[in-house]
């Protein structure tokens, strides 16, 4: 087992990795930017190294600075968290060259999944259902038009280097295609430095459902069930849950088996997530695979009782998975709300000093946060300041529990998304589990019946 792990991240996820390390008896090294000098992860790590100025590009994204911090402190592994360098095949390669263990999949697997067109081909070959589309990047306008005609409109143009919704264009008729391809290529080049795009049949109002897997270095792969992640706005998830209200046990077993085979086909190791679109008829289609720990991993931990971060560390250290698929059971229901420092109506960031921060505990409540009373929320980073996760015996209990926790949470000094979460929890479609990726758009377009005249209640 590792003696010392450097955490190449900040915020709640850095804390999450520290929790796992402490429980495993592993020393921790925090890295931080000048803006994060007083943050919790620096306070609770055994050692800390300042790696640069506030801007991410000058600190948390600086590979030489991260590696130097690991070498100086003698860390034998790096946990990248999520975001920042977590899906950098380059960092994973540099780690390998420096004899520092990267806690994540091999660089080749990260690189493969980073190329969405290639991942599509490989998944298809492994027997994973994919949508009709191009076998690789588009090479000519004529071929694109011919293919789109064969597939049938609407289609979607996606950047091969994309993900998270950047460089995408929906095309509803052939006259729009040439421009959509050009625009998507330009956006992809600007955002990722790679202009390649591919096309797929477009699914209207799908659900976003993703499967969590774990794979060890001995070829054992397990799935930990799915998460329903359809409640999102502009590709930022707001609320996630497990299990998905749309899946039966039979569907879970079938899809779980498919993702296990797919992961084995690419010799996947460590934690990973296979994202699917589910159409209104209940058919699944592979979208992309994330080669990192995800923000919403706690809902899976709550229903399975498995500590995904500890498993990541054990796997990276070369241990065999200590349990089998049959040992993985799913109990009750879990929901996560991402609390953002933002105006719940305009979604504009709301950085500043939190004077009071108080979240009630009680049965089935878990809070992951970088916040505490009198902390400063920096404008430099992600607006997510806390994740509130609940577990209940069933979905109704989880919803009621989340509502009471949010109602009793006091955050003073900044605006948060909590009033928006309370509204979502009150929605009849949400309560019935009728959600899709169009949910928020429709929800926000609706006139709201509420004492403040169609506006959300004041942030607490």
The residues of the shown chain that bind ligand MV4, judged by CB under 6 A, are: 131, 156, 163, 165, 200-203, 206, 208, 232, 235, 277, 287-288, 437
Residue 53's alpha-carbon distances to 57, 62, 268, in angstroms, are 9, 11, 35
Write down the least CB distance from residue 151 to ligand MV4, Å: 10
Nearer to ligand MV4, 148 or 406 (CB): 148
Cα atoms in the Cβ-side hemisphere of radius 13 Å centred on 192: 23
Are 312 and 26 spatial neighbours (Cβ–Cβ below 8 Å)? no
- Give the DSSP H/E element, type plus range, for residue 144: helix 141-151
Enumerate the β-bridge partners of residue 101: 77
Measured CA to CA, the distance from residue 249 to residue 74 in angstroms comes to: 46
Write down the least CB distance from residue 109 to ligand MV4, Å: 18
Tokens of 386: 């806390």
Beta strand extents in 294-430 (DSSP E only): 333-340, 352-354, 356-358, 365-369, 375-377, 384-392, 410-412
Tokens of 116: 């969405």
Nearer to ligand MV4, 357 or 439 (CB): 439
Nearer to ligand MV4, 62 or 230 (CB): 230
Write down the least CB distance from residue 2 to ligand MV4, Å: 33
Nearer to ligand MV4, 148 or 306 (CB): 148
Write down the least CB distance from residue 413 to ligand MV4, Å: 31
Are 109 and 123 spatial neighbours (Cβ–Cβ below 8 Å)? no
Nearer to ligand MV4, 22 or 201 (CB): 201
Measured CA to CA, the distance from residue 227 to residue 253 in angstroms comes to: 14
Which residue, 105, 59, 82, 88, is CA-closest to 12?
A: 82
| Catalytic, out of 207, 292, 338, 366 | 292
Are 293 and 312 spatial neighbours (Cβ–Cβ below 8 Å)? yes
Write down the least CB distance from residue 118 to ligand MV4, Å: 15
Nearer to ligand MV4, 116 or 387 (CB): 116
DSSP state at residue 226: E
Write down the least CB distance from residue 150 to ligand MV4, Å: 15
C-alpha 158: how far from its chain's center? Answer: 19
Mark whether 292 is an active-site residue. Answer: yes
Residues labelled catalytic: 292
């Amino acid at each position: 087992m590792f003696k010392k792990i450097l955490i190449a991240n900040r915020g709640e996820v850095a804390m999450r990795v520290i929790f796992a390390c402490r429980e495993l008896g592993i020393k921790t090294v925090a890295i931080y930017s000048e803006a994060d000098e007083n943050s919790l992860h620096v306070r609770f790590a055994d050692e800390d190294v300042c790696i640069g100025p506030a801007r991410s590009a000058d600190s948390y994204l600086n590979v030489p600075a991260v590696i130097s911090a690991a070498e100086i402190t003698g860390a034998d592994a790096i946990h990248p968290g999520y975001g920042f360098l977590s899906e950098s095949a380059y960092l994973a390669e540099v780690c390998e060259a420096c004899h520092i263990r990267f806690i994540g999949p091999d660089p080749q697997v990260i690189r493969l999944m980073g190329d969405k067109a290639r991942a599509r081909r490989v998944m298809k070959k492994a027997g994973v259902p994919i949508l009709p589309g191009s076998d690789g990047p588009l090479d000519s306008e004529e071929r694109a038009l011919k293919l789109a005609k064969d597939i049938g409109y609407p289609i979607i143009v996606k950047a091969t280097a994309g993900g998270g919704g950047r460089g995408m264009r929906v095309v509803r008729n052939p006259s729009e295609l040439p421009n959509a391809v050009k625009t998507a290529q330009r956006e992809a080049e600007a955002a990722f430095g790679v202009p390649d795009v591919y096309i797929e049949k477009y699914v209207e109002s799908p659900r976003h459902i993703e499967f969590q897997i774990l794979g060890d270095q001995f070829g054992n792969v397990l799935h930990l069930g799915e998460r329903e992640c359809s409640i999102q706005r502009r590709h930022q998830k707001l609320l996630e849950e497990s299990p998905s209200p749309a899946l039966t046990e039979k569907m879970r077993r079938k899809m779980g088996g498919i993702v296990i085979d797919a992961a084995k086909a690419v010799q996947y190791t460590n934690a990973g997530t296979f994202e699917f679109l589910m159409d209104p008829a209940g058919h699944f289609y592979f979208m992309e695979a994330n080669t990192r720990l995800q923000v919403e991993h706690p809902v899976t931990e709550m229903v399975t009782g498995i500590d995904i971060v500890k498993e990541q560390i054990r796997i990276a250290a070369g241990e065999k998975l200590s349990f089998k698929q049959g040992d993985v059971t799913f109990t009750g229901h879990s929901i996560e709300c991402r609390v953002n420092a933002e105006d719940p109506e305009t979604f504009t960031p709301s950085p500043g000093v939190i004077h009071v921060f108080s979240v009630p505990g009680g049965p089935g409540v878990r809070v992951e946060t970088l916040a505490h009373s009198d902390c400063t929320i920096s404008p430099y980073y992600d607006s997510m300041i806390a994740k509130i996760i609940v577990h209940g015996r069933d979905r109704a209990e989880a919803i009621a529990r989340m509502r009471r926790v949010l109602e009793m949470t006091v955050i003073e000094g900044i605006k948060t998304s909590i009033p928006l979460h309370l509204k979502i929890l009150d929605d009849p479609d949400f309560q019935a589990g009728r959600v899709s990726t169009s949910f928020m758009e429709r929800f926000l377009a609706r006139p709201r019946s509420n004492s403040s005249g169609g506006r959300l209640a004041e942030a607490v």
